[in-house]
Chain A
Amino acid sequence: MRILLAEDDRFLANGLSDALTESGYNIDTVNNGLDATAAVKLAPYDLIILDLGLPKMDGLDVLKSVRSSGHNMPVIILTARDGLEDRVLGLDLGANDYVTKPFHLPELEARIRALLRKDNWDNHTEVQYGKLSFNTLSRAVLIDGQALELSARELAILEILLQRTGRMVSKQQVVERLSTWDTELSSNAVDIAMHRLRKKLDGSQVEIKTLRGLGYLLEKIE
C-alpha cells in the first residue's frame, strides 16, 4: 500500500513515516501543499494523510484540487485545530476521516486500515478466493486453513492482485505501488517475487497468469 504523507513538521513527518513503514506501508513524504498536488499526479497512492496547515498551499485547497482532478483515494486529515468548522469543511470537501493532533498512533493506523479496507475490500475483513483466504486486518493468508508464509513483497503483490481479481494488473502498476521515491523497485525484482509467489500458491486453486507484454491476472483454476 502506497501512502502519501503531506506534513510540514519534519519531526512528526519522519516519526509517522518510520512508524508506518514499520507497519508495512510504503510512504512518500511531502512538506508543502504544492508538492502534495504534484505527487498525487505522479504516483498511484492508496491513501493520503493530509495536514491542514501546509505552507504554499493550504491542506483544504490540496484536497479540493485532488478531488477535482478525479482522484478518489481515501484522505485522512491531520489537524491541530479542533474547531468544528475545519472538520466539517474538510469532510465536505471530500476527506474521508480526520484525526486531531496529538493522536495515538494505533488509532491513526486503525483508521488507515479501515479506510483501505473500505476502498479495496469493500469493508470485508475476510476475502475468500478459491481455497485462498486473506484477512484484511491481520493480512494473514491461509490455504485451506493452513497459514502461508510470504515475504513482505510477495504479500504486497498478492494483495494488489486480490484487490482486482479477474482483471489485469500491469507490471508498471505493481512496480509503482510497491515503490517509494527513495526505493524504486526494479522490474526484475517484481519478476522474482512473482515467480516465488506463484510457487507458494500451488494447491490453492488460484493461479497468477502472465499476459506477456501486458501484465498479470489472478484467476481461479476450475
Chain B
Amino acid sequence: MKRSNSSIRRQLLAWLLIPLCCLCLIASALAYQLATSFASDAYDGQLVNSAAAVAARLRFDGVQITVDLPPAAQAILRHNTSDKLYYQILEIDGRRISGDAVLPKPQTNLESDKPVFRYSDLNGEKIRIARIRVIPPHAYDHPVFVQVAETLNGRENLTHRILGAIVIPQVILIVLGAAAVSVGVTKGLSPLKKLERAISRRSKLDLTPVEPSQAPSEVYPLILAINDLIERLKHDIESQERFVANAAHQFRTPIAGLKTYVSLAQRVAKEEKLQPILSQLNSGCDRLTNLVNKLLSLARAEPANKLADRTNLDLNILVSAVTSDLICEALDKDIDLQFLPCPNPALLEGSQGGLTDLTVNLVENALRYTQPGGEVKVKIEEGETYLTLAVEDNGPGIPVEERERVFERFYRILGSDVQGSGLGLAIVKEIAAAHQAHIHLSDSAKDSGTCIKIVFPKAGRVPSARLQPDQKGTSLRAAANARPRSERLTKDRSGLIESRDSQ
C-alpha cells in the first residue's frame, strides 16, 4: 500500500489548491488579455490620430500631392511618446510620395476606408503600423495612404504595468488562500489526529472503547467501527484464553487417570524390571501435569484477566516464601540458593497469585539451567520509585541472540537438554506486563550466567512513562543487541537500574 496516496490532508489540499491556482491563473490571463487589448486600442487610436494629423497637412497643387509638415510640427509629432514615430505618404500603388522611406509597403486591405493596423519589423525592432486612406483636399480622384508607425516601448511598458498590477495581487491571493486552506484542512482533520493519538498512546492491555462523545459527526462512525473492532478483538482474545484454560482443564482428568494407572501398576507389578519403566512413566505424567498447570497460569495472567486479586503486599515476604518452597529442588541439584531481601518492607500493589507464579517460574528457570554446584541468588532491591526482583545464576547464560525469544511461548534454546515446559518465562512476561513492570535480561555479574530483573513501580505511584509496558519491548530488544550497547543502555537508565558495580 502506498502511504502517500492515502493522506486525506494531501488529497484535500490537492483538490482545493490546484483548482484554486488554476482559477486564479485563468482569471489573471483573461484580465491581462482584456487590459492589454484595451490598452492596445487606446494606442492604436492615438496612432490613427497621428495619421489623421499628417493627413490634414496634405496639399494638392493640381499636379502632385505634398505634405506640409514644418519641423516644429514634426517635432511635436515625433516627440510626444517614448517611442520612435515614422510616417509616410504613399500612392495607392505603393510609391512613396513623402515621409520616412523605411516603412514596409501596405499589402492587404488596400480598398478599406477604415484604418488598417498591423505589426511589422523595422531594423530588428517591432513596430505597429496604422494606415488610413485619405483623399487630400481638391484631389477628388487621387486617394493616398498615410502610414504612421511607432515602436512598441510605450505599449510594452503599459503591458508590463498591467501585468504587474494583475499578477502580484493574484499571487498574494493564491498564497493567502493556500495558507487559509491548509490551516482549515488541518483544523478540519484535527479530530482524526486526536483519535490517532488517543489510540497510539494506549498500552496493549487497554481494550476499553474509545470515547466518542466529542467527535464530529464524520468521525463518529469511524470511532464506532473502531470500538466495534476492539470489542470483537476483546471477545476473540477472551475466547482464545478461555479455550486455553478449558483445554488445560480437559487435560487434567485423563492425566489423573494415567497417573492413577501408573501408581496402581507400580503397586501390583511383581516384575523388578518393570519398576524403572513405570517410574519413567510416572515422571512423564508429572511433566505433563506441570505443563498443563503452566498453561493454566499463563491463561490466568493474560491481559484480559488482569490478575484481578490485587492487594498491597510485601515482596520480601512473598518471594521469601516462594524461594523457601523451592529449596528442596535446589538441594537435590546441589545448588546454593540464596535469598537477599531489601532492608525495608518492599510494599507493592499486585496480585498475590500472579507474583507467586512469576517468582516460582523465575527461580525454577534459574535452578533448571544452572549446573549442579552452581549458585542462584534471589534479591529484592529498592530504589526511589521502583522495586526490583532480581534472579541471578551462574549457569551457562543465555546467548545474546536468544534473549528476546526466550520470553516467547514454547520457545526453548536449541541444544539445551534440560526438561522444561517452555512456558515459564512467557508467564513471567505476562505477569510482569500486568503489573506495569519492566524486564531486564543481562549477563550476571559473575563470569557466566544470567541476571533477570523485574522492575516494579512502587505501590501508590503512578507508573512513569518509561515504565509503560510498551517500553519493555525496546529494552528487551536493546538487551538482545551487542553486549556493550546493552550495558550503555542500562547505564543510561541509571534512574531505574542500579549500576552493576554495587553488587
Known: A82-B296, A105-B259. A22 touches B253 (CB 8 A): no
Stretch in B145-153, B261-269, B442-450, B489-497 touching the partner: B261-269
Binds B, one of A7-15, A40-48, A88-96: A7-15
Please state if B254 and A80 are interface contacts (CB–CB under 8 Å): no
Collect the chain A residues with CB atoms within 8 Å of residue B289's CB.
Answer: 102
Which residues of chain B come closer than 8 Å to A18, judged between CB atoms? Answer: 261, 264
Within 8 Å of chain A (Cβ to Cβ): is B342?
Answer: no
Residues of B within 8 A of A196 (CB): none
A181 at the interface (CB under 8 A from B): no
Q: Is B255 part of the binding interface, using a Cβ–Cβ cutoff of 8 Å?
A: yes
Q: Is the CB of B267 within 8 A of A16?
A: no
Q: Is the beta-carbon distance between B267 and A101 smaller than 8 angstroms?
A: no
Report if A12-B250 is in contact (Cβ < 8 Å); known contacts: A22-B267, A105-B263: no
A103 to B255, CA, bound (A): 9
Q: How distant is the Cα of A9 from the Cα of B260 in the complex, in angstroms?
A: 13
Output the residue of A18, A19, A78, A101 with the most chain B CB within 10 A.
Answer: A101
Given the known A-B contacts A15-B261, A82-B296, are A103 and B267 also in contact in the complex, defined by CB atoms under 8 Å? no
B249–A12 contact, CB under 8 A? Answer: no
Within 8 Å CB of A80, what residues of B? 249-250, 252-253
Give the CA-CA distance A14 to B260 in the complex, in Å. 9
Question: Chain A contacts of B250 at CB under 8 A?
Answer: 80
Give the A-B contact count at a CB cut-off of 8 A.
Answer: 61
Q: Is the CB of B257 within 8 A of A106?
A: no
What's the minimum C-beta distance from B155 to chain A, rounded to whole angstroms? Answer: 98
Q: How many angstroms between the C-alpha atoms of A143 and B296 in the bound complex?
A: 53
- In this assembly, does A220 line the interface, its C-beta being within 8 Å of a C-beta of chain B? no
Size class of the contact patch on chain B: 20 to 34
B252 to chain A: which residues have CB within 8 Å? 80, 100-102
> In the assembled complex, how far is the CB of residue B275 from the closest CB belonging to chain A, in whole angstroms?
16
In the complex the two chains form, is B253's CB within 8 Å of A103's CB? no
Q: Which residues in window 256-282 of B have CB below 8 A to A? A: 256-261, 263-264, 267-268
Q: Which residues of A contact B268 (CB under 8 A)?
A: 22
User: Within the assembled complex, what's the spacing in Å between the Cα atoms of A118 and B254?
Assistant: 31
B285 lies within 8 A of chain A by Cβ:
yes
What's the nearest-Cβ distance from chain B to residue A198, in Å? 32
Q: Look across to chain A and name the residue whose beta carbon is closest to the beta carbon of B267.
A: A22
> Given known contacts A80-B249, A80-B250, A81-B249, is B256 in contact with A101 (CB within 8 Å)?
yes
A104 CB within 8 Å of chain B: yes
Complex alpha-carbon distance, A18 and B267, angstroms: 11
- A14, A78, A103: the one contacting B259 at CB < 8 Å is A103
Nearest CB in chain A: distance from B142 CB, A: 128
Across-interface contacts of B264 in A (CB, < 8 A): 15, 18-19, 22, 105
Known: A22-B268, A82-B296. A105 touches B260 (CB 8 A): yes
Q: How far is the CA of A82 from the CA of B261 in the complex (A)?
A: 23
Q: Contacts A101-B252, A104-B263 given: A15-B257 contact, CB under 8 Å? A: yes
* Bound Cα distance A78, B255 (Å): 13
Report Cα–Cα, A9/B252, bound state, in Å: 11
CA distance A211 to B289 in the complex (A): 54
Give residues in B with beta carbon < 8 Å to A. Answer: 249-250, 252-261, 263-264, 267-268, 285, 289, 292, 296
Contacts A101-B255, A101-B256, A103-B259 aside, 10 further interface pairs with beta carbons under 8 A come to A9-B254, A11-B258, A15-B261, A16-B260, A19-B260, A19-B263, A80-B253, A102-B252, A104-B259, A104-B263
Q: 13 A-B residue contacts at CB 8 Å?
A: A9-B257, A13-B257, A14-B257, A16-B257, A19-B264, A19-B267, A22-B268, A102-B256, A102-B259, A104-B259, A105-B260, A105-B264, A106-B263
Interface residues of A (CB under 8 A from B): 9, 11-16, 18-19, 22, 78, 80-82, 100-106
Which 3 pairs between the two chains have the least Cβ-Cβ distance? A12-B257, A105-B263, A15-B260
